[in-house]
Amino acid sequence: MIGFLAALLSMIGKAALDQPTSKSAFLAYFPDSVRPVISILLSIGPIMVVFPLLFAVTTWLERKGLGRIQNRLGPNRVGPYGLLQPVADGLKMVTKEDIVPRNADKVVHFLAPVALVIPTLLAFAVLPFGRNLVPLDLDAGILFFFAVGASTELSIFMAGWSSRNKYSLLGAMRAVAQMISYEIPLIISTITVIMLSSSLSLVDIVDRQAGYVFGIVPHWNVFTPWGFAGFIIFLIASLAESNRSPFDLPEAESEIIAGHLTEYSGFKYALFFMGEYLGMFAMSGLATTLFLGGWNPPFWFLAWAPTYLWFFLKLILLVCLFIWIRGTVPRLRVDQLLNFAWKFMLPLSLINLVAAAIWHYSGEWHFVGAVVTRWLIGAMIIGIPYVWLGRTLGADKKVTRRVYRFAD
């Protein structure tokens, strides 16, 4: 018993210094019969605690942020500065009556929110939260991430179809069309990182971004032309995949009430709500891993801080960016949304692949002028088609001056 407590204290102390011991060394103090159970708990326990807690904090942060953007206070009644509002919302959802339509497919109606939350939680299993802090280090981790994430379309369609409601079905069909359309440029934008990293392992991708160019600029993918373009494409597609504004057409309350969520209430609605936020966290974590250096610090003199601190700081900054976009960008129409995906995002993501290939075969240049020239060449390969595609997409739109008149 004393040996077990010593090992536990040693593991906690080293974790505080960002040097976590291996799981196998810790499991050596347990009998063989219970090691699988302890191993599973050590892997899924932090995910099941940290991200639902982050979901609760983010709901408060988003409501306060949107309130300030819209010149209002936001939650301010429950607890100091409204900090206990997520607790009140959770209690309300748990105690609220669960109403199921009489003609609904009750089994599928019940399974839809479960089928959304479980795959979203599985996606966190391959994200490296820090050095030696990845629950499941797979050689093809990025494939696992997209494989489990692809099931969210099915869960949304299950919700709309099982509700036996025209608005729910229309919202589900909108969501499936939107998510399939934007999933293509989303995945293509990650192929550039896979090409330049020569690996499908998310841990290897983070390791390839370690170090600093000329000892100053982080060696992150976002600081390259193809990485910057891929990062922007990934963020826009992530907004659409998460049904976040301005791509929240599946839940357009002014048109189809609440889309696939129309016939949901109580805890089931809360699961959908949590699944949307968990999906946003997962996409932000993947963007951090692929383009923002993962757990690597922005400056070499900050390497003393725990690596998981840098990962979560970048993730939270991306979440704040999503909140800012929701409060400032209006919702798109369906035709605008699909045209933007197929006529702009998809061609630009394919051109970005060419830019990444040219960047790779141009070799490493170690002089400032050569690096700037290489960067400008890559930027031109992406920038010229960007301008041309943008002009082509808006060429058939006749913009006229709007005149307001009083009614006779």
Question: Using an 8 Å Cβ cutoff, are 140 and 158 in contact?
Answer: no
pLDDT band at 16 (very low <50, low <70, confident <90, very high): very low
Q: Can you give the pLDDT at residue 397?
A: 63
Strands (E), 144-293: 212-213, 217-218
Instruction: Give Cα 56 distance to the centre of its chain.
Output: 16
Q: Can you give the pLDDT at residue 9?
A: 33
Question: Using an 8 Å Cβ cutoff, are 156 and 260 in contact?
Answer: yes
What the block records as the tokens of 94 is 């748990």
Tell me the Ramachandran region of residue 294: left when phi exceeds 0, alpha when psi lies from -120 to 50, beta otherwise.
left
Question: Using an 8 Å Cβ cutoff, are 247 and 341 in contact?
Answer: no
Percent over 70 (pLDDT), the chain: 87
Lowest mean pLDDT among 185-194, 217-226, 312-321, 389-398: 389-398
Average pLDDT score over residue span 330-359: 88
Q: Can you give the pLDDT at residue 292?
A: 92
Average pLDDT score over residue span 248-273: 77
Q: Give pLDDT tens digits for 186-239.
A: 999 999 999 998 889 999 999 999 888 777 888 899 999 999 999 999 999 999
Instruction: Give Cα 52 distance to the centre of its chain.
Output: 15
pLDDT band at 185 (very low <50, low <70, confident <90, very high): very high
Q: How far apart are CA 261 and CA 248, in angstroms?
A: 12
Q: How far apart are CA 226 and CA 355, in angstroms?
A: 6
Per-domain residue ranges of the chain: 2-45, 99-393
How far, in Å, are 162, 165, 172, 238, 324 from residue 262 at the CA level?
11, 8, 11, 24, 26
Three-class secondary structure of residue 212 per DSSP: strand
User: Per-residue pLDDT for 309 more than 50?
Assistant: yes
Q: What does 218-230 look like in DSSP terms, one character per residue?
A: E--GGGSHHHHHH
What the block records as the tokens of 218 is 């982080």
Average pLDDT score over residue span 73-78: 86
Q: Can you give the pLDDT at residue 155?
A: 86
Q: How far apart are CA 284 and CA 208, in angstroms?
A: 19
Three-class secondary structure of residue 367 per DSSP: coil
